[in-house]
Amino acid sequence: MSKHLLSGLGVATLLAAPAAAADQPLLARWTGPYGGVPPFDRVEVAQFQPELEAGMAEQLAEIEQIAADPAEPSFQNTIAALEGTGRTLDRVANVYGVWSSTMNSQEFQAVEREMAPKLAAFSDRITQNERLFARIAKVYETRETSGLTAEQQRLVWLDYTNFVRAGAKLDADAKKRLSEINQKLAALFTQFNQNVLSDEESYVLVLETDADLAGLPDSLRSAAAAAATSRGHEGKWAVLNTRSSMEPFLTYSDRRDLREKVWRTYYSRGDNGDEKDTNALITEILKLRAERAKLLGFATHAHWRLENTMAKTPERAMELLEAVWKPAVARVHEEVADMQAIADAEAATSGTAKITIEPWDYRYYAEKVRKAKYDLDENEVKPYLQLEKLREAMFWVAGELFGFQFTPVTNVPVYQPDVRVWEVKNPQGGHVGVWYFDPYARQGKRSGAWMNAYRSQERFEREITTIVSNNSNFVKSKEGDPILVSWTDAETMFHEFGHALHGLSSNVTYPSLAGTAVARDYVEFPSQLLEHWLPTPEVLNRFALHFQTGKPIPQELVAKIERASTFNQGFQTVEYLASALVDMKLHLAGDVTIDPDTFERETLAALGMPKEIVMRHRTPHFSHIFSSDSYSAGYYSYLWSDTLTADAAEAFVEAGGYYDRTVAKRLVDHVFSVGNTVDPADAYRAFRGKDPGIGALMRKRGFPEPAVAGGAK
Ligand SMILES: [Zn+2]
């Protein structure tokens, strides 16, 4: 869906915005510094529905005015005019989105269930407006001869394509059915989301005694104690049913029985046969998606979804996934052999029964192999990874590569006292944007980490600057104690900050083309690339400081991290690829009734999935693909983007290092600043001087390179 339909931003110029009543603050233009900021201090959940409805009504009136314009359709009176619509709705919808992901209460969930189908129907009313589409089509026909700039031509193409993809060319009956499907899907997505969130929040493993904590390092013990307190189990310890609680527990707990319990609980989310079970929802979602694809003239949902991506067809995406699958599985077998040897030796030494490596043993024994092979103990690294120091490290990298300066500010409202805000400036001291940071886990906040754009950059009516946030789920420490994070979590912080920098670097005219509004299999490229700056000595020596001594991480430890960089890539690649392959196959299956459990089991068996690994996201809680359409038939995007990422990282290495100013400038000029104003393949070529092959990706993961290079071109 094009951005202005639901989430563009700015000020309505075509019609005066309705005067906002005192109790409807979200309808008003944002006030305060930086061209206005979200009024997070004035939100009332009960107001979302009337405010969203007022926003929708206003945009429909604006659309009607464009559609009914007696003047000949032109870029200005149609395409540019569309960019200016929906400003009020965008403001409300952005705050609504923040509540959905980070302040999701029971009261809010009721509003979501009510509003999801209404918002879907609203979108369809715009894309199905025939007079509006006729005008867009007219502008599209003459886009190359009517004196438009390259960016304007790209916007015309985008609008036209999005309208056609949303069914603008269908007959009246098909349009009606399409809208019914979209409304049903919106309701199912909401239900799926709420069920998974419920399974994450309602299952907590409370550890009662010291024996239950065997193997856990101090930092984990205190995090588990804090988690228990937050759930009303003062004096005990708790493992929450989230990735950031599950992963470290499975890595360190000596208690095999508890590891299995935590593993089973986590990977059964949505799959417990109770009222929160998502299997039936998934069957229905897949059926409706298949029907919609047919209506729109595509063989399957996957073909429809991939049409406007870099990969363009499911076949090309599958080709890349399959090229990496075999070497990754081969690596898993090697990893398991290494782990089994350690487990056998342990059994021999202690005189206990031999075990066979099971999925709940993988992280635990992998850690032991890491120690044995590379003499690297994650626990030795962790004391050097302080959350706040890593944040400073990210700011420093942004300064080196982008010239950005971050200054903390307290002059803007926040939705939660933990949220902190920084103003971003350019080297000349000019205002670039605002960055919000919401780092801690709490109830009502979805798990994982993400970037959220509150406002996109644009300048076609007036200069509007970027407002973005980074969100994660670190367990809060006791007052004053620094929070120590794992290496993986540190990488994730850099990743999400990469998305934020992509938004902040945006330098375009029209909001629909700004920042991260790019093809789904391209959007992870800038974010993944930023992860490469974490292990640089420049960052580690300055910011990886021991939380007690303040001393920088020893060179010897940095060298070990470097040597172990491809360690466990079999596990990481296979757990990811299994999810990507199942996603694609579910959406290539077409119009058949799918039982998700059976489909998953049979697909993995046919692929030769190693029995010691489970999908990173099992089907019943695969939120990427079932909480909205956005990553459906799109989980492959991370690997596709990584072919670009790995190749782009080599551009820096070839130039002498990650802080090479010339390559950094090319990266900003051709990738970070251009948003969707340029075709991504062209943008990449302009940066790199060539297309990426699969070689750099395989080198990055330590896999043998195939004789014939394929992959992202
Ligand atoms: Zn990402």
Instruction: Give the pLDDT band (50/70/90) at residue 480.
Output: confident
Give residue-wise pLDDT tens across range 16-61. Answer: 344 455 568 889 999 999 999 999 999 999 999 999 999 999 999 9
Other beta carbons less than 10 A from residue 650's beta carbon: 16
State both tokens at 623: 């939120």
Mean pLDDT of 473-498: 89
Mean pLDDT of 234-248: 92
Mean pLDDT of 582-593: 97
Q: How far apart are CA 78 and CA 260, in angstroms?
A: 59
Lowest mean pLDDT, pick from 26-35, 294-303, 480-489, 639-648: 480-489
Residue 6 has pLDDT above 60, yes or no: no
- Express as a percent the part of the chain with pLDDT over 70: 96
Mean pLDDT of 335-361: 96
If you measure from the C-alpha of residue 496 to the centroid of ligand 1, how many angstroms do you get, rounded to a whole number? 6
Give the per-residue pLDDT at 550.
96
Which of 361 and 710 is assigned the larger pLDDT? 361
Burial of 24 (C-beta count, 10 Å sphere; 0-12/13-18/19+): middle
Please report the sign of the dihedral spanned by the C-alpha atoms of residue 152, residue 154, residue 160, residue 163.
Answer: negative
Instruction: Give the pLDDT band (50/70/90) at residue 441.
Output: confident
If you measure from the C-alpha of residue 580 to the centroid of ligand 1, how many angstroms do you get, rounded to a whole number? 15
- Express as a percent the part of the chain with pLDDT over 90: 88
If you measure from the C-alpha of residue 270 to the centroid of ligand 1, how many angstroms do you get, rounded to a whole number? 24
Give the per-residue pLDDT at 7.
33
Give residue-wise pLDDT tens across range 528-538. Answer: 999 999 999 99
**Nearest residue to 668 (alpha-carbon basis) of 310, 394, 404, 395:** 404
Q: How far apart are CA 587 and CA 665, in angstroms?
A: 39
Give the per-residue pLDDT at 706.
73
CA atoms within 13 A on the CB side of 510: 27
Helix (H/G/I), strand (E/B), else coil: 204: strand
If you measure from the C-alpha of residue 498 to the centroid of ligand 1, how many angstroms do you get, rounded to a whole number? 8
Backbone angles phi, psi at 423, to 5 degrees: -90, 140
Give residue-wise pLDDT tens across range 330-340. Answer: 999 999 999 99
If you measure from the C-alpha of residue 491 to the centroid of ligand 1, how many angstroms do you get, rounded to a whole number? 11
**Residues annotated as catalytic (active site), given as ranges:** 496
Backbone angles phi, psi at 202, to 5 degrees: -90, -15
If you measure from the C-alpha of residue 332 to the centroid of ligand 1, how many angstroms do you get, rounded to a whole number? 25
Burial of 307 (C-beta count, 10 Å sphere; 0-12/13-18/19+): middle
- Residues 6+ positions from 82 with CB-CB distance below 8 Å: 4, 63, 66, 136, 159
Contact 266, 616 (CB under 8 A): no
If you measure from the C-alpha of residue 236 to the centroid of ligand 1, how many angstroms do you get, rounded to a whole number? 35
Residue 13 has pLDDT above 80, yes or no: no
Residue 481 has pLDDT above 90, yes or no: no
Give the per-residue pLDDT at 21.
55
Which of 479 and 650 is assigned the larger pLDDT? 650
Distances in Å between the alpha carbon of 187 and those of 88, 121, 184, 251, 284?
A: 24, 11, 5, 37, 11
Q: Which amino acid is at 449?
A: A
pTM (two decimals):
0.92
Which of 8 and 608 is assigned the larger pLDDT? 608
Give the per-residue pLDDT at 562.
86
Give residue-wise pLDDT tens across range 170-202. Answer: 999 999 999 999 999 999 999 999 999 999 989
Beta-sheet strands, E only, within 97-180: none
If you measure from the C-alpha of residue 499 to the centroid of ligand 1, how many angstroms do you get, rounded to a whole number? 7
If you measure from the C-alpha of residue 680 to the centroid of ligand 1, how many angstroms do you get, rounded to a whole number? 17
Distances in Å between the alpha carbon of 528 and those of 325, 496, 573, 666?
A: 20, 9, 15, 17
Contact 608, 362 (CB under 8 A): no
Mean pLDDT of 224-239: 92
If you measure from the C-alpha of residue 6 to the centroid of ligand 1, how many angstroms do you get, rounded to a whole number? 21
Give residue-wise pLDDT tens across range 407-436. Answer: 999 999 999 999 999 999 999 999 999 999
Residue 712 has pLDDT above 90, yes or no: no
Residue 365 has pLDDT above 70, yes or no: yes
Give the per-residue pLDDT at 8.
30
